Amino acid sequence: MAGKLNKQKLAKGTRTCAGCPIPVIVRQILAQTDAPIAASMATGCLEVTTTIYPDNAWGISSVHNAFENAATTISGVETAHKILAKKGKLQSGAEKFKFVAFGGDGGTYDIGFQSLSGAVERRHNFLYVCYDNGAYQNTGNQRSSATPEGVKTETTPLGKETPRKDMMKIMAGHNMPYLAQAAVHNLSDLVVKAKKAFETKGPSFLLVFSPCVPGWGYSPKDTIRISELAFETNFWPLYEIENGKYKITAKPTVIKPVQEFLKTQKRFDHLLKDEQAVKEIQDNVDNGWRELNEMSIE
Amino acid sequence: MKKEKTKNYIIKPMSGGEAAAEALRQIGIEVMASYPITPQSPIIETFSKMVADGRVNAETINVESEHSAMSACVGSAVAGAKTATASNSQGLALMSEIVYVASGLRLPILMAITNRALSAPISIHCDHSDSMMVRDSGWIQIYTENAQEFYEFLILAFKIASRKEISLPIMVMADGFISTHQLEKVAIFDDKAIADFIGEYNAPYDFLNPQKPILVGPFSVQDSHFEFKLSQQKAIERVPAIFKEEAKNFKKITGKDYKFFEEYRLKDANTAIVVMNSTAGTAKEVVDKLRDKGEKVGLLKPHLFRPFPYKEIAEALKKVKKIAVLDRSMSFGANPPLFAEINQSLAGTRIPIQKYVFGLGGRAIFERQIEQVFADLKKGKIDDKIKYIQ
Amino acid sequence: MKKSKFKELKPVLPAGTSERLKTGSWRVLTPSIDNNKCAKCFKCVNFCPENSIKYNENKGQMEIDFEYCKGCGICAQECPAKAITMNKK
In tens, the pLDDT along A45-58 reads 999 999 999 999 99
Contact (Cβ atoms closer than 8 angstroms) between residue B213 and residue A30: no
Chains sharing 3 or more CB pairs under 8 A with chain B: A, C
Neighbours of B21 (CB within 10 A): 29
**CB contact A56 to B (< 8 Å):** yes
Of C6, C9, C15, the CB nearest to B214: C15
Report the amino acid identity of residue A115: S
Q: Where are the domains of chain A?
A: 22-295
Chain A residues closer than 8 Å to B63 by CB: 72, 75, 118, 122
Is B221 in CB contact (< 8 Å) with chain C? no
Q: Which of B62, B75, B83 is the closest to A40 by Cβ?
A: B75
The torsion angles phi and psi of B37, rounded to 5 degrees, stand at -155, 125
**How is B334-355 classified by DSSP, letter by letter?**
S--HHHHHHHHHTBTB---EEE
- Gap between the Cα atoms of B121 and A240, Å rounded: 48
In one-letter notation, the amino acid at residue B240 is: P
**Percentage of chain B surpassing pLDDT 70?**
99
CB contact under 8 A, A65 and B214: no
Contact call for residues B35 and A30 (beta carbons, < 8 A) = no
Distance from CA of C57 to the nearest CA of B (A): 28
Task: Answer yes or no: are the C-beta atoms of B36 and B201 closer than 8 Å.
Answer: no
Model confidence at B4: pLDDT above 60: no
Residues contacting residue B302 through CB under 8 Å, at least 6 positions apart: B143, B260, B261, B274, B276, B313, B338
- For residue B3, give the DSSP letter: P
- Is residue A227 a contact partner of residue A19, using CB atoms and an 8 Å limit? no
pLDDT of C1 = 57
Nearest to C9 among B204, B214, B224 (CB): B224
> Do the beta carbons of residue B72 and residue A76 sit within 8 Å?
yes
pTM of the model: 0.97
Q: Is B140 helix (H, G, I), strand (E, B) or coil?
A: strand
**How many residues make up chain A in this entry?**
298
Q: Tell me the mean pLDDT in the region C22-31.
A: 97
Please give the order of strands across the beta sheet that includes C12-14.
Answer: A245-250, A238-242, A178-183, A204-209, A127-132, A98-104, A37-41, A61-64, B214-216, C12-14
Structural domains of chain C ordered from first start = 28-88 (3.30.70.20)
CB-CB contact of B145 with B179 (8 Å): yes
Alpha-helical segments (H) within chain A? 22-30, 45-50, 70-86, 105, 113-121, 167-172, 187-199, 213-216, 223-232, 259-262, 269-272, 275-295
Q: Does A191 touch chain C (CB under 8 A)?
A: no
Task: Give me the half-sphere count of Cα atoms (radius 13 Å) on the Cβ side of residue B389.
Answer: 27
**Cβ pair B307, B236 in contact under 8 A:** yes
pLDDT digits (tens, 9 = 90+) for A218-264: 999 999 999 999 999 999 999 999 999 999 999 999 999 999 999 99
From first to last of the 298 residues of chain A, give the pLDDT tens digit: 233 334 699 999 999 999 999 999 999 999 999 999 999 999 999 999 999 999 999 999 999 999 999 999 999 999 999 999 999 999 999 999 999 999 999 999 999 999 999 999 999 999 999 999 999 999 999 999 999 999 999 999 999 999 999 999 999 999 999 999 999 999 999 999 999 999 999 999 999 999 999 999 999 999 999 999 999 999 999 999 999 999 999 999 999 999 999 999 999 999 999 999 999 999 999 999 999 999 998 6
From B224's Cα to the closest Cα of chain C, the distance in A is 9
- Cβ atoms of B17 and B25 within 8 Å: the answer is no
Q: How confident is the model at residue B2 (pLDDT cuts 50, 70, 90)?
A: low
Subunits next to C (3 or more Cβ pairs <8 Å) are A, B
Question: Which residues in chain B have Cβ-Cβ distances shorter than 8 Å to C10?
Answer: 106, 204, 231
Mean confidence (pLDDT) of chain B: 97
ipTM: 0.96
What share of chain A in percent tops pLDDT 90? 97
Start-to-end C-alpha separation, chain B: 58
DSSP string, B263-288: EES-TT-SEEEEE-THHHHHHHHHHH
Write out chain C residues lying below 8 Å of A49, CB-based. none
Q: Which of B154, B88, B79 is nearest to A84 (CA)?
A: B79
Which chain A positions have a beta carbon within 8 Å of C65's beta carbon? 12
Integer-rounded Cα radius of gyration of chain C: 19
Would the CB atoms of A66 and B216 count as touching at under 8 Å? no
Test mutation, C5, C7, C9, C21, chain B, max B CBs within 10 A: C9
Among A18, A22, A57, beta carbon nearest to C72: A18
Q: Work out whether strand B9-15 and strand B183-189 pair parallel, antiparallel, or are unpaired.
A: antiparallel
B61 → closest Cβ in A79, A84, A97: A79
* The amino acid at A225: R
Rounded CA separation B137/B107 (Å): 13
Q: Do B105 and C9 touch (CB under 8 A)?
A: no
User: Can you tell me the distance from the alpha carbon of C14 to that of A220, in angstroms, rounded to the nearest whole number?
Assistant: 31
Considering only CA atoms, which of A166, A241, A227, A199 is closest in space to residue A25? A227
Q: How far is CA B104 from CA B73, B161, B216, B218, B389, in A?
A: 14, 14, 11, 11, 38
Q: Tens digits of per-residue pLDDT, B332-358?
A: 999 999 999 999 999 999 999 999 999
Neighboring chain A residues of C49 at a CB cutoff of 8 Å: 14, 16, 18-24
Q: Report the alpha-carbon distance of residue B102 to residue B112 in Å, rounded.
A: 15
Interface of A with C in 18-37 (CB under 8 A): 18-24, 27-28
Q: Identity (one letter) of the amino acid at B369?
A: Q
Mean pLDDT calculated for residue range B229-237:
98
Query: Cβ separation of A10 and C20 shorter than 8 Å?
Result: no
Average pLDDT over residues B124-141: 98
Candidates A16, A41, A61: best to mutate against B (most CBs of B within 10 A) is A61
pLDDT at A298: 65
Q: What is the pLDDT of residue A5?
A: 34
A22-295 CATH, one of 2.60.40.10, 1.10.490.20, 3.40.50.970, 3.40.1280.10: 3.40.50.970
- Is C52 in the A-facing interface, judged by CB distances under 8 Å? yes
The pLDDT value given to residue B131? 98
